[in-house]
Copies of this chain bind each other. A is one copy, B any other.
Amino acid sequence: MQIKASKHRPRIVIVGAGFGGLWAARRLARFPVDVILIDKNNYHTFFPILYQIAAAEVEPEEIVYPVRSIVRKLPGVRFIMAEVEQVNLAGRSLKAGGIEIPYDYLVLAIGSVSNFFGVPGAEEYAFPLKTMEDGISLRNHILCCFERAFMEPDAARRRQELTFTIVGGGPTGLEFAGALSELIRGPLKKDYPGIDFSEARVVLVEAKDSILPELPEQLRTYALERLRRMGVEVRLGAAVSRVSAAAVDFSDGSVIRTETVVWTSGVRADPAIRSWGLPQAAGGRVAVLPTLQSPGHPNVYVVGDLAYCEQNGRALPMIAPVAIQQGEAAAKNIAEQIAGRDPAPFLYRERGIMVTIGRNGGAAFLFGRPFTGFPAWLIWLFVHITNLIGFRNRLFVLIDWAWDYFFFERAVRLILPSERNCDPPG
């Protein structure tokens, strides 16, 4: 592969093949430029339903897509699977996979990691839900808890194995709580005839006094009632002070005995950014100009979760729609710069927010209007299926969802090799 800078076409290097980086590459493919897209994985992950891997609702392969399959349809775009080792902003080059890659423009889109806010034991014992690996690990762990409980003679120990605690009352926490509750009350109940399912608990804890603060009151109330009707215990105003192998402690002194703590309560910029010489703002993110350029580096763009960008006095949220729009905006701005024109400020167009909570349940706020129940669930379904990449992935996810919907049966519930060992923790 020829990596030297071309004399004829401007070279744009994009780091990260998530929503921000991939959409930037797609847009840049329309222009006569040379694009190199770099990611440490050979696949793009559809984050919004990542939690469904953990709930044995979909298979990992159904919501990730090989980057090379996308890139081969984009003229002028090449893909390198590698970790970026060094960025030399002054010299306009970076090092990845041991190779020096010069660039004219750089788009940084490496995303975010879980933010444990320094809670003792959280990083060690809590399960994050940020990558495909996280989803597989958590699924393995949940199924292993049931395998152990199936054999466990001690009642206290068994209850602890069957208590699943989810930290964070945002969309991911809620959707996962609903999906997990349905997994347990449906397929797992049929799979483990020896287990007393009154011992199994799903607990959703949130430090603030409300779930889903972005939604209007009416929708928050609906979601809370819906979760409780599904058998999810919701604890508001419960700040986690410590996580260990078999418990979670709260700052009010209360304790939940649990071997599963799922951490959905926050994200921060990928710490890989630290050594790349760009100043960091809140959450480790890189503060950008309204044009998404890095201050002082007009040829460096930062997009997605990595970018700290305010609009109407508020920081833009770290979600897929922002990343997609920023990726496209950065691409357009680079094309403008190449054409000798000024880059334009980025303006986020918010389309709405929606969550699904179990079968036929959902809450959505779209075009300024609230939706609940079956209509919200149907909108959620439609939006997520159409946004998946690849016809085969859409088909397989749809079949899996239909299976679950009509037969109350999850596709597969394998304990995959990576953590086949179901030995108890600690």
24 A-B Cβ contacts within 8 A? A2-B194, A40-B420, A41-B415, A42-B413, A43-B415, A59-B59, A59-B61, A60-B416, A61-B411, A64-B412, A64-B414, A65-B412, A66-B191, A66-B412, A68-B413, A72-B190, A72-B193, A82-B151, A99-B151, A132-B417, A136-B417, A392-B403, A396-B396, A396-B399
Distance between A68 CB and nearest chain B CB, rounded to angstroms: 4
The reply to whether the CB of A81 lies closer than 8 angstroms to some CB of chain B is: yes
User: What is the chain B residue whose CB lies nearest that of A131?
Assistant: B417
Partner of A1, one of B61, B151, B420: B151
User: When each residue 189-200 of chain A gets 1 if its CB lies under 8 Å from chain B and 0 otherwise, what string results?
Assistant: 011111000000
The reply to whether the CB of A207 lies closer than 8 angstroms to some CB of chain B is: no
Q: A1-B194, A81-B415 known; 16 other A-B pairs, CB under 8 Å?
A: A1-B150, A1-B151, A40-B420, A41-B415, A42-B413, A43-B414, A60-B416, A61-B61, A61-B411, A61-B412, A61-B414, A64-B412, A66-B412, A72-B190, A78-B193, A80-B151
Q: How far apart are the CA atoms of A41 and B413 in the complex, in Å?
A: 12
The reply to whether the CB of A395 lies closer than 8 angstroms to some CB of chain B is: yes
The reply to whether the CB of A218 lies closer than 8 angstroms to some CB of chain B is: no
Interface of A is mostly: mixed
Q: How far apart are the CA atoms of A417 and B151 in the complex, in Å?
A: 30
Distance between A424 CB and nearest chain B CB, rounded to angstroms: 10
Given the known interface contacts A78-B194, A194-B78, A403-B392, the answer about A143 and B412 at a Cβ–Cβ threshold of 8 Å is no
User: When each residue 98-131 of chain A gets 1 if its CB lies under 8 Å from chain B and 0 otherwise, what string results?
Assistant: 1100000000000000000000000000000000
Total copies of the chain: 2
Q: How far apart are the CA atoms of A203 and B64 in the complex, in Å?
A: 32
Q: How far apart are the CA atoms of A422 and B143 in the complex, in Å?
A: 30
A40 proximity list for chain B (CB < 8 A): 420
User: What is the chain B residue whose CB lies nearest that of A417?
Assistant: B133
Partner of A413, one of B66, B193, B411: B66
The reply to whether the CB of A418 lies closer than 8 angstroms to some CB of chain B is: yes
Q: How far apart are the CA atoms of A40 and B140 in the complex, in Å?
A: 14
B132 x A422 contact (CB < 8 A): no
B422 x A191 contact (CB < 8 A): no
The reply to whether the CB of A97 lies closer than 8 angstroms to some CB of chain B is: yes
A72 x B414 contact (CB < 8 A): no
A88 proximity list for chain B (CB < 8 A): none
Given the known interface contacts A72-B190, A151-B1, the answer about A418 and B417 at a Cβ–Cβ threshold of 8 Å is yes
A414 x B1 contact (CB < 8 A): no
The reply to whether the CB of A147 lies closer than 8 angstroms to some CB of chain B is: yes
- A-B CB proximity, top 6 nearest: A68-B191, A133-B417, A1-B194, A61-B412, A42-B415, A81-B147
